[in-house]
């Protein structure tokens, strides 16, 4: 659990500290600065908001920049800050979407732009309730790793929306920093709100293939596939880094993991489903 | 290669076996390194405080190749590990310097 508080709007004053880590966009723009504070961490999203995260990851205080709407703050909190804060609590979080299948759930691990939300929406339309379109939260249990439901919405680009959903599909409020559209869960886009045993994970590849391809990931490639998609707030905290390595190793060992590549064409998504069916029969309803 | 030498695994390096292979984590940099099956076996033997000569002869026997070839591969492997700070300076084989911590798991 995270105790989240929305503070007052305020300008982003220059900080005396030097960020110990940064996320940058492909064009070099700084997306997130990571600073240490006396109480924990300050995550600065330039021009959008500052998020103060307690050292134990249990409390988050958001301070939007004047003019930034609450939906944008919610969006940042759910998709960016919450997974990082949970990592401070020792809770695994990964860049991934997840859908329900008979007996559990399967996850699609991928960084932004790899198509994991599109896949989640496609399968949800086919009746597989989605647990998350990003920020895959995993809980280790005596019965193996479980995927946890995150937020009942999926963010899609306009072209994905046009190809996958009806024009009148319920939408959430727009978010200021992206033109992605937030689709709310509905009868035609079902949401799975209960934890599901994680039956398999698919690491999404670049799409440079003429036909869907699935291959098992073994050995170092398997754990590396998970590590590459893991959220971790403070990579300089050696104790947490060690624990993070251990839990990722355990999860990757427990969940059959595959690479998944397919042409990024909407018309080929049924082929992806067929390939997954043929490979593991996990989608067979 | 001095076959009597042993190498030490620094406290800031963790390793975890994944099948026949291994992944190393440098807690100082936060970087991960993958070892294939042969590298993982060499790492395992070094972490067990074997001399470099023992490492080479064991791997040569297990893979059915000449010791000289394994020694050459081992030297390259050691250079790579050392350049990344994943092993410490070699010491005399008669005085093992392998460090063991609760974060280091022998493979």
Q: What phi, psi does A22 have (nearest 5°)?
A: -140, 145
How many domains is chain A partitioned into structurally?
A: 2
Domain boundary among A88, A121, A146: A88
Checking if the pLDDT of A163 tops 90, the result is no
ipTM score of the complex? 0.80
pLDDT at A280: 65
CA dihedral A175, A179, A185, A191 (to 10 degrees): -100
**What CATH number is attached to the domain comprising A196?**
3.40.50.300
A197 with A244, same domain: the answer is yes
One domain for residues A112 and A164: yes
Residues A263 and A193 in one domain: yes
* Domain containing residue A152: 93-284
Rounded to the nearest angstrom, the minimum Cα separation between B2 and chain A is: 30
Same domain as A100, residue A57: no
Domain edge (last residue) among A88, A112, A127? A88
Residue B30 and residue A235: Cβ atoms within 8 Å? Answer: yes
How far does the CA of residue B91 sit from the closest CA of chain A (Å)? Answer: 27
Cβ under 8 Å to B: A residues 230-269: 235-236, 238, 241-242, 245-246, 249, 252-253
What pLDDT sits at residue A281? 57
* Residue that is last in its domain, among A88, A114, A130: A88
Looking at the fold, whether A76 and A133 belong to one and the same domain comes out as no
Q: Which whole number is the average pLDDT over A241-248? A: 94
Min Cα distance B77 → chain A (Å) is 17
Verify that A260 and A152 share a domain, yes or no: yes
Residues A35 and A58 in one domain: yes
Q: Are residues A41 and A158 in the same domain?
A: no
Give the count of beta carbons closer than 10 Å to the beta carbon of residue A140.
15
The 10s digit of each residue's pLDDT in A104-158 is 999 999 988 899 999 999 999 999 999 999 889 999 999 999 999 998 999 888 8
**Structure confidence by residue, pLDDT tens digits, A5-28:** 999 999 999 999 999 999 888 788
B19 part of contact set with chain A, CB < 8 Å: yes
> Taking a contact as any Cβ pair under 8 Å apart, which residues of chain A between 16 and 45 contact chain B?
none
Closest C-alpha among A106, A104, A101, A109 to residue A259:
A109
Report the percent of chain B where pLDDT is more than 70.
Answer: 82
What is the mean predicted confidence (pLDDT) over A165-176?
81
Mean pLDDT of chain A, nearest integer:
91
pTM, whole model, 2 decimals?
A: 0.88
CA-wise closest residue to A116 among A96, A130, A102, A101: A96
Assess whether A100 and A83 both reside in one domain.
no
């Amino acid at each position: 659990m995270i105790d989240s508080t929305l503070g007052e709007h305020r300008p982003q004053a220059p900080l005396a500290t030097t960020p110990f880590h940064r996320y940058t966009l492909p064009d070099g723009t700084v997306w997130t600065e990571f600073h240490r504070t006396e109480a924990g961490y300050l995550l600065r999203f330039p021009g959008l908001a500052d998020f103060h995260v307690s050292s134990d990851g249990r409390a988050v205080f958001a301070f939007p920049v004047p003019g930034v709407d609450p939906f944008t703050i919610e969006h940042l909190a759910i998709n960016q800050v919450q997974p990082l804060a949970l990592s401070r609590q020792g809770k695994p979080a990964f860049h991934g979407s997840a859908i329900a299948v008979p007996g559990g759930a399967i996850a699609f691990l991928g960084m932004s732009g790899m198509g994991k939300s599109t896949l989640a929406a496609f399968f949800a339309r086919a009746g597989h309730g989605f647990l998350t379109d990003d920020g895959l939260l995993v809980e280790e249990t005596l019965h193996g790793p479980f995927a946890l439901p995150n937020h009942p919405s999926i963010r899609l680009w306009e072209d994905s929306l046009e190809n996958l959903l009806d024009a009148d599909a319920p939408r959430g409020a727009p978010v200021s920093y992206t033109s992605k559209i937030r689709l709310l869960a509905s009868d035609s886009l079902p949401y799975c709100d209960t934890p599901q045993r994680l039956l398999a994970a698919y690491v999404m590849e670049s799409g440079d293939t003429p036909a869907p391809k699935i291959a098992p990931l073994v050995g170092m490639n398997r754990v590396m596939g998970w590590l590459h998609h893991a959220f971790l707030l403070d990579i300089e905290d050696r104790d947490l880094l060690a624990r993070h390595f251990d839990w990722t190793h355990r999860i990757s060992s427990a969940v059959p993991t595959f690479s998944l590549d397919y042409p990024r064409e909407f018309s080929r998504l049924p082929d992806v489903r067929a390939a997954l069916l043929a490979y593991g029969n996990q989608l067979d309803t | 290669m001095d076959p009597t030498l042993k190498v030490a695994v620094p406290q800031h390096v963790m390793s975890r076996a994944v099948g026949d292979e291994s992944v190393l984590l440098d807690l100082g940099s936060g970087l991960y390194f993958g070892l294939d099956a042969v590298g993982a076996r060499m790492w395992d033997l070094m972490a067990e405080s074997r001399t470099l000569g023992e490492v080479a002869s064991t791997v040569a026997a297990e893979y059915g190749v000449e010791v000289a070839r394994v020694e050459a591969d081992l030297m390259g492997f050691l250079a790579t590990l050392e350049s990344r700070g994943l092993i410490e300076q070699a010491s005399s084989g008669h005085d093992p310097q392998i460090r063991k911590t609760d974060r280091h798991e022998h493979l």
